[in-house]
Amino acid sequence: MPKLEAIVENLNESNHPDFRIWLTSMPSPAFPVSVLQTSVKMTMEPPTGLRSNLMRSYANMDNRELNDCTKPKEFKMLLFAFSFFHAIAQDRRKFGAIGWNIPYAFMQEEFYVCKIQLKSFLDEYDEVPYKVLNFLGADVNYGGRVTDDKDIRLIKCILERFVQPDTINVGFNYSDSGLYKTIEPGSQEDYMKYIDSLPLVPGPEAFGLHENAEITTNQENTRLILAHVLSVQPRTSSGGGKSREEVIGEISKNIEDQTPVHYDMDNVMEKYPTLYNESMNTVLA
């Protein structure tokens, strides 16, 4: 990262006008702020909502891809199940700790890998290997991001709900309401039409959650809206009270007064020198 920062700082008018540095990065606290400030930034975020997630998955496919399997019927039905699972996994984050203990950044790549593996196993085996598909999907592809032990159990249970023998039966319900179900295998246009008929704002029952789970989501959305409104308010104050700057100054002074003094590193190093036979000195230093 320091090398990258030095390269960017040395860019000037003498460089070729068509020269560009293209970078892709996951969120990282080590990323240089100066590079961010001088860059044109583009972020890729998953769409919010089950319908938008499903629409995105099928918008990136065509009929040739849907029929490119020796078992096209099973492939289409199980692919829709995987796409629904992918949307559920992403959208559960809006429920906070009720959805996942840790908000994982699931990407479209996990779904693509599941799709490739699904086609491969259907082409290779006479019967659908549901156990293998569940293990690869929940433990490897998506489970590789999951670190909490309760979330690992949860993601396995969710996928087993969708990828099972009943999935290849038309009308199999993914939720109690019956809105989300296995449809007759057809073209990409048929799936897009069905997805477009789904509710724009799904209820908690689509995720297997109680109706009260939505309370947390609505409270968080309200808090974000109010925080954004307050962030654009004028920073000046009126009346005889303390100004914003005075309040911040007092808080800063209070923090500074409570902060311990710096360690005298020279004195510490002299008292506890780094020795090969005394590793604790290195730890203390």
Query: Are 159 and 183 in the same domain?
Result: yes
Going by pLDDT thresholds of 50, 70 and 90, the confidence category of residue 262 is confident
**Across 68-72, 126-130, 237-241, least confident range:** 237-241
Residues 198 and 62 in one domain: yes
Task: Among 194, 211, 228, identify where a domain stops.
Answer: 211
Task: Encode pLDDT of 184-228 as tens digits.
Answer: 999 999 999 999 999 888 888 889 888 888 887 888 888 888 888
**Number of other residues whose CB lies within 10 A of the CB of residue 170:** 11
Contact by Cβ (8 Å): 246, 233: no
For residues 117 and 160, membership in a common domain is answered with: yes
Note whether residue 175 is domain-resident: yes
- Angstrom distance (rounded) from CA 111 to CA 191: 17
Are residue 128 and residue 192 in the same domain, yes or no? Answer: yes
Is residue 42 a part of any domain in this protein?
A: no
The number of distinct structural domains making up the chain is 2
My answer on whether 92 and 172 are in the same domain is: yes
Residue 285 belongs to some domain of the structure: no
Q: How far apart are CA 14 and CA 119, in angstroms?
A: 52
Q: Is there a single domain that holds both residue 67 and residue 189?
A: yes
Q: Alpha helix locations (H) across 30-174?
A: 33-37, 50-59, 63-67, 72-91, 108-124, 130-134, 149-162
CA 50, CA 84: separation in Å to the nearest integer?
A: 8
Is the pLDDT reported for residue 137 higher than 90?
yes
Distance CA 105, CA 93 (A): 9
Supply the angle between the helices 149-162 and 72-91 in degrees, to the nearest 10: 150
Confidence at residue 79, expressed as pLDDT on a 0 to 100 scale: 95
Please indicate, yes or no, whether the overall pTM of this predicted structure exceeds 0.85. Answer: no
pLDDT score at 239: 54
Task: Show the domain range for 156.
Answer: 50-211
Domain boundary residue, one of 180, 211, 242: 211
Q: Are residues 28 and 57 in the same domain?
A: no
Q: Are 275 and 281 in contact (CB under 8 A)?
A: yes
Structural domain includes residue 45: no
**CATH of residue 81:** 1.10.8.720
Assign 173 to helix, strand or coil: strand
Answer yes or no: are the C-beta atoms of 172 and 84 closer than 8 Å. no
Cβ count within 10 A of residue 231: 7
Give percent of the chain above pLDDT 90.
40
In a domain, 65, yes or no: yes
Split at pLDDT 50, 70, 90, the class of 236 is low
Residue 244 within a domain: no
> Does residue 238 surpass a pLDDT of 70?
no
Render pLDDT for 52-80 as a digit per residue (tens, 0 to 9).
889 989 988 889 999 989 999 999 999 99
Q: What confidence tens digit (pLDDT) does each residue in 86-121 have?
A: 999 999 988 888 899 998 888 888 999 999 999 999
Q: For residue 281, name the pLDDT band (cuts at 50, 70, 90).
A: confident
Residues 24 and 71 in one domain: no
- Summarised one tens digit per residue, pLDDT across range 181-192 is 999 999 999 999
Question: For the packed helices 50-59 and 188-196, what is the interaxial angle rounded to 10 degrees?
Answer: 160
* CA dist., res. 118 & res. 24, Å (int): 28
102 in any annotated domain: yes
Q: Which of 32-41, 67-76, 139-148, 181-190 shows the lowest mean pLDDT across its residues?
A: 32-41
Task: Give CA–CA dist 205/188, Å, rounded.
Answer: 26
